[in-house]
Chains A and B, each alone.
Chain A
Amino acid sequence: MQPEFRPANVVRNSIQSAFPRLRLAHWKVRSPFDRSYKCIAWAACRADNIWWPHGMDPVPKGLYWPPGVPHDTKVDTFVMAFERLGYQRCDNQEFEFGFQKVAIYAWDLDTTTHMARQHFLGKGWLSKPGILEDIVHFTLESIESDPPYRGDGYGEVFQILKRSWLTALFRTCLFRCAWYTFRHWLYRLVHPSWKSGGIT
């Protein structure tokens, strides 16, 4: 099914109501509405499936999770899943030339809620908030929620991971990232309502 191009004002309202801090922050929409992938897959440079630990069911009920990684929502579990992609723990969120970074949001060490991937050239962070449009937000804090963490907030950033561009290249992630970025750029270029809505 083709992605859905929602009117600019609808997109803006739905995202800003989910993340109130974005009302005062600089951010942009980068892709159409798409239910086929969510934040963890997007952080792993995938836009063709949904990643999340699916519990101990013998057959997962609708989610992909790397084989051999535990099925819980601990921050360490998500770190382990991304270590399979060549990421390592890192202690700062600043852009480092030659490295790709991801951030893990959580309520606490046991409850991961979201992941964001740093722009390839460090121009902000790419997030796929659930089924909504991809966004680029220029600080990690702009989609954090206020404590106490519960309900529908993302909590705060608990861990930053990084890997070298060379590692990303070997794992073909860079090609996928480039392809999706190009596809989304084409969408923004050709879709008239997006151009008129100034959504880019």
Chain B
Amino acid sequence: MLPAYCTDINEYREWVKGPPGIYDDQPRYEKSQVVQFVDQDEIKEWIREFDEKEFPNETATSIASERTLKERFFEQSDKWDSETAHLSSPAQRFLHPSYVAIMGMAQENRDEIVRLLLQDMQANRREWFWALSYLTHENPIDLQDSGNLNKMIRAWGQWGRKKGLL
């Protein structure tokens, strides 16, 4: 019995045999004909129709744009801070998905994320030193102040004010 997606036995053979040219020694179709099998625009249209049908009001784009960068930043930073609070190893702390998410947000608006990191560090004393150094390629901490949280936060605060970010 033929499957539902085949209208005749020749079409079924085509499906079973796989895409032309892969298993054959000699391709049975020209390249222009093969392209017809994988029409990119048609696939995109299928995906769009599927999304509209299954997720009529929600898409990844709409979810991201509904909430501001600031809201998403503070959500992820609170989560990161609470879930890694017991860890001392920076490597363990940076592997947390929320930290990665925040670094990913910098792709949307790097300056805004740097400003939020600086604000959060001043207000909540969270350790964003690595993220700030990575995003700004700068490090205003003096060698003799390393490890001293108050002095390091003060150094980044001065740097932020100098750059007009605070």
Please report which residues of chain B, range 104-149, place their CB below 8 angstroms from some CB of chain A when the two chains form the complex.
Answer: 125-127, 129-130, 133, 139, 141-143, 146-149
A152 CB, nearest partner CB in chain B, Å: 6
B83 touches A62 (CB 8 A): no
B142 CB, nearest partner CB in chain A, Å: 8
Place the interface of chain B in its size category: 20 to 34
- Which residue of chain B is the closest to A60 with respect to CB atoms? B146
| B84 at interface, CB cutoff 8 A | yes
B143 touches A59 (CB 8 A): yes
B146 touches A132 (CB 8 A): no
Please report which residues of chain A, range 44-72, place their CB below 8 angstroms from some CB of chain B when the two chains form the complex.
Answer: 48-52, 54, 57, 59-64
| B85 at interface, CB cutoff 8 A | yes
- Which residue of chain B is the closest to A135 with respect to CB atoms? B86
Cβ of A62: which chain B residues have Cβ within 8 Å of it?
127, 129-130, 141, 146-147, 152
Question: In terms of DSSP, what is the predominant structure of the interface of chain A?
Answer: loop
B147 touches A49 (CB 8 A): yes
Cβ of A39: which chain B residues have Cβ within 8 Å of it?
88
B17-25, B65-73, B89-97: which one contacts chain A? B89-97
Quick one: given A1-B125, A61-B141, A152-B86, are A73 and B91 in contact (CB under 8 Å)?
yes
Question: In terms of DSSP, what is the predominant structure of the interface of chain B?
Answer: loop
A61 touches B85 (CB 8 A): no
A50 touches B149 (CB 8 A): yes
B88 CB, nearest partner CB in chain A, Å: 4
Please give the number of chain A residues whose Cβ is less than 8 angstroms from any Cβ of chain B in the complex: 35
Cβ of A130: which chain B residues have Cβ within 8 Å of it?
84-88
Cβ of B96: which chain A residues have Cβ within 8 Å of it?
152
- Which residue of chain A is the closest to B93 with respect to CB atoms? A130
Chain A interface (Cβ < 8 Å from any Cβ of B): 1, 14-15, 18-19, 35-36, 38-41, 48-52, 54, 57, 59-64, 73, 112-114, 128-132, 151-152
Chain B interface (Cβ < 8 Å from any Cβ of A): 82-92, 96, 125-127, 129-130, 133, 139, 141-143, 146-150, 152
A-B contact pairs, 14 of them (CB 8 A): A35-B127, A35-B149, A38-B88, A49-B146, A59-B139, A59-B143, A60-B143, A61-B130, A61-B141, A62-B130, A112-B89, A129-B85, A129-B87, A132-B86
